[in-house]
Amino acid sequence: MTTAIYPGSFDPVTMGHLDIIRRSARIFSHVYVAVAQNPHKKPDFSLEQRRDYLLKVTRDLDNVEVITIDGLLVEAAQKRNARIIIKGLRAMTDFEYEFQMALMNKKLGNDVETLFMATSTKYSFLSSSLVKEVARLGGCIDGLVPEEVREDILAQLRR
């Protein structure tokens, strides 16, 4: 019985995120999807919107729970008895920053381990920032974000 936590900005959720959530849900008994603040980014979607989109797209996953956190990730993990932090890795460009965060999280909470999951090849080019750029410029985002939330995302970005 292992509980894991998958944190991110999810600004907004993409098919790449959902792929990691689904694969994690098959491995761990319980998965918290934690919408967190990245101090280096100013989000385009509110915390509530990001959480609501995740709730919608994970509705069919019984062992997945969406939460929001506003402090340290490690503390949120420890509080919920989650000993594993899951991070999706797209390419080597992600690695340096993710590795640094993994080491810092280990320093802050020695009992919490970071596990990296390789993104599926078909989503390896995908990022929330690129989705937003394409949507704002009138491009098609079919297949890049979950269908249930696509129209809401487009409406928000094209206002």
Residues in contact with ligand PNS by the rule CB under 6 A: 7-9, 36-38, 41, 72-73, 101, 104-105
Catalytic residue, from 22, 30, 90, 150: name it.
Answer: 90
Taking a C-beta distance cutoff of 8 angstroms, is the pair 61, 21 a contact? yes
Nearer to ligand PNS, 25 or 77 (CB): 77
41 is catalytic: yes
Q: Which residues lie closer than 8 Å to 76 by C-beta, 6 or more apart?
A: 5, 7, 32, 34, 36, 67, 69
128 is catalytic: yes
SS3 84: strand
Q: Which residues lie closer than 8 Å to 57 by C-beta, 6 or more apart?
A: 13, 18, 146, 148, 149
Nearer to ligand PNS, 1 or 107 (CB): 107
Catalytic residue, from 17, 50, 87, 132: name it.
Answer: 17
136 is catalytic: no
Nearer to ligand PNS, 20 or 138 (CB): 20
Distance in Å, CB of 139 to ligand PNS, minimum: 22
Catalytic residue, from 24, 50, 87, 128: name it.
Answer: 128
Distance in Å, CB of 36 to ligand PNS, minimum: 4
**Which H or E run includes 87?**
strand 84-89
Distance in Å, CB of 150 to ligand PNS, minimum: 20
Catalytic residue, from 41, 59, 136, 158: name it.
Answer: 41
Q: Which residues lie closer than 8 Å to 112 by C-beta, 6 or more apart?
A: 74, 77, 78, 82, 83, 84, 85, 105, 106
Q: Which residues does the annotation mark as catalytic?
A: 17, 41, 90, 128
